[in-house]
């Protein structure tokens, strides 16, 4: 059965963007990240991706070299009217405007027995955690201190989530912590 995996990368002090909205310091070596065991395993096990509109916009309409060559469901309040490059038989993009539950349902259907990976966006991740739809929480920690910016965790919007450690992935530039979300 598929799992819903919420993942993000953050600074050691808990920020997923710096004060100007940039994520550049969190991804100092994208090629190293692409070769990491963590991302390679995620690419093999993922059958569909759910992302927020901000994460979609970061690609600037081009998914040609995107790691996940699977159906992508973009959670948004507005439709996208421009052509998105990189769509093919495996990678399709669907805009979902009727809520996080609908996006997860559509992604689970597309993923079959494979996982649904949630990519980018504190708001999307928080909605999924708060709705109790996450099975796994995976946090990449990069050894930089941003000092301020956008925090991933917000107690008011995440709620009381209980976790059980599953696995730790290490590379020279980051540590990824993987937790199972305990459901009552």
Give the model confidence (pLDDT) of 5-59 as tens digits: 999 999 999 999 999 989 999 988 877 888 888 888 998 999 999 998 888 888 8
Does the residue 65 lie in any domain? yes
**Is residue 125 pLDDT above 70, yes or no?**
yes
Q: Is 159 left (phi over 0), alpha (psi -120 to 50) or beta?
A: left
Distance, in Å, from the CA atom of 138 to the CA atom of 151, rounded to the nearest integer, reads: 15
Indicate the helix (H) or strand (E) that contains 39. helix 37-45
Using CB atoms within 10 Å of the CB of residue 1, give its burial: 0 to 12 exposed, 13 to 18 middle, 19+ buried: exposed
Give the total residue count for the chain. Answer: 184
Q: In this predicted structure, what is the pLDDT of residue 158?
A: 67
The band of 160, judged by pLDDT with boundaries at 50, 70 and 90, is: confident
Does the residue 131 lie in any domain? yes
Does the residue 106 lie in any domain? yes
Q: In this predicted structure, what is the pLDDT of residue 140?
A: 92
Does the residue 184 lie in any domain? no
Indicate the helix (H) or strand (E) that contains 170. strand 162-171
Does the residue 180 lie in any domain? no
Does the residue 135 lie in any domain? yes
Range of the domain at 128: 4-175
The band of 155, judged by pLDDT with boundaries at 50, 70 and 90, is: low
**Contact at 8 Å (CB) between 36 and 14?**
no
Does the residue 18 lie in any domain? yes
**Contact at 8 Å (CB) between 29 and 159?**
no
Does the residue 26 lie in any domain? yes
Domain tally, the chain:
1
Taking the CA atoms of residue 145, residue 65, residue 36 and residue 23 in that order, the dihedral angle to the nearest 10 degrees is 0
**Domain CATH number, residue 23:** 3.40.430.10
């Amino acid at each position: 059965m598929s799992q819903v995996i919420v993942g993000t990368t953050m600074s050691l002090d808990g920020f997923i963007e710096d004060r100007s909205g940039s994520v550049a310091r969190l991804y100092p070596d994208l090629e190293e990240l692409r070769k990491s065991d963590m991302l390679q395993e995620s690419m093999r096990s993922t059958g569909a991706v759910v992302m927020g509109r901000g994460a979609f916009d970061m690609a600037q309409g081009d998914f040609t070299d995107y790691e996940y060559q699977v159906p992508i469901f973009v959670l948004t309040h507005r439709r996208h009217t421009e052509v998105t490059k990189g769509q093919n038989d495996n990678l399709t993009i669907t805009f979902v405007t009727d809520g996080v539950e609908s996006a997860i349902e559509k992604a689970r259907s597309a993923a079959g027995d494979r996982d649904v990976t949630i990519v980018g966006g504190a708001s999307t991740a928080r909605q999924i955690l708060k709705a109790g739809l996450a099975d796994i929480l995976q946090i990449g920690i990069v050894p930089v201190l941003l000092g301020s910016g956008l925090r991933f965790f917000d107690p008011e919007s995440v709620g009381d989530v209980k976790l059980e450690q599953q696995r730790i992935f290490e590379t020279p530039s980051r540590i990824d912590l993987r937790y199972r979300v305990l459901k009552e």
